[in-house]
C-alpha cells in the first residue's frame, strides 16, 4: 500500500445521470480513470500525456475494473473521489478508489493496470514491463 493519495471534488452534472437523476454507474469508472492519471501526475510530477515518453512505456492500460455501488449519488451532489495505489507487482498495479457523498462511502472500486511497453521484436504488440523501483518509491509507503 502506498501513502500518496489523490482526492478531488466533483459536482454531479446532469450528463452524469440516468433519467431518474442518479449517476449512471459507468460514469464512476470514468471518474476512477481520471483520478488514476492525476494520481500518477501527483506522485511522479509528470503530466499524463508525457508519462509514456518519460518512462519509455506504451501506457498504463486498464486490464480489470470492479466496483461496489453502496449509495446513490444524484444530480447536484458534491462528491469526493479518493484514490491510491493499493499494490504494486512486477508489471502491474492496483488502484483503490472511493467515492464519498455527504460523508459516507457511496462507491468502492478498484482498477488493475499494466506498466505496458512495446514488444521488443513485434512493435505492433504490447507487453508488460517491469515497473521501475523509482516509480514505486515515488508513491511512498504507508
- Dihedrals φ, ψ of 67, to 5°? -155, 150
Whole-number pLDDT of residue 78: 98
Instruction: Give the confidence band of 1 by pLDDT, cuts at 50, 70, 90.
Output: low
- pLDDT at residue 2 tops 90: no
The band of 123, judged by pLDDT with boundaries at 50, 70 and 90, is confident
Question: What three-state secondary structure class fits 117?
Answer: strand
Nearest-angstrom CA–CA distance, 95 and 40: 11
- Complete domains list, the chain, with CATH: 5-138 (3.10.129.10)
Dihedral sign for Cα atoms in the order 37, 95, 80, 106? positive
Angle made by CA atoms 97, 99, 105, in degrees to the nearest 5: 110
Write out the E strands in the chain: 5-11, 62-69, 78-88, 92-101, 104-114, 116-118, 126-128
**Does pTM top 0.85 for this prediction?**
yes
**Does the pLDDT of residue 126 top 80, yes or no?**
yes
Measured in degrees and rounded to the nearest 5, phi and psi for residue 17 equal -110, 160
Distance CA 138, CA 45 (A): 9
Mean pLDDT of 10-29: 96
Q: What pLDDT does residue 57 have?
A: 94
pLDDT in tens, 100-113: 999 999 999 999 99
User: What's residue 141's pLDDT?
Assistant: 67
Amino acid at each position: 500500500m502506498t501513502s500518496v493519495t489523490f482526492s478531488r471534488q466533483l459536482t454531479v452534472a446532469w450528463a452524469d445521470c440516468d433519467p431518474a437523476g442518479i449517476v449512471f454507474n459507468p460514469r464512476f469508472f470514468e471518474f476512477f480513470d481520471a483520478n488514476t492519471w492525476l494520481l500518477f501526475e501527483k506522485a511522479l510530477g509528470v503530466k499524463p500525456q508525457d508519462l509514456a515518453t518519460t518512462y519509455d512505456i506504451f501506457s498504463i492500460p486498464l486490464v480489470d475494473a470492479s466496483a461496489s455501488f453502496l449509495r446513490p449519488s444524484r444530480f447536484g451532489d458534491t462528491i469526493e473521489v479518493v484514490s491510491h495505489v493499493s499494490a504494486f507487482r512486477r508489471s502491474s498495479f492496483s488502484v483503490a478508489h472511493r467515492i464519498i457523498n455527504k460523508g459516507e462511502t457511496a462507491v468502492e472500486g478498484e482498477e488493475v493496470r499494466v506498466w505496458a511497453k512495446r514488444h521488443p521484436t513485434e512493435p505492433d504488440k504490447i507487453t508488460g514491463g517491469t515497473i521501475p523501483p523509482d516509480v514505486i518509491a515515488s508513491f511512498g509507503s504507508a
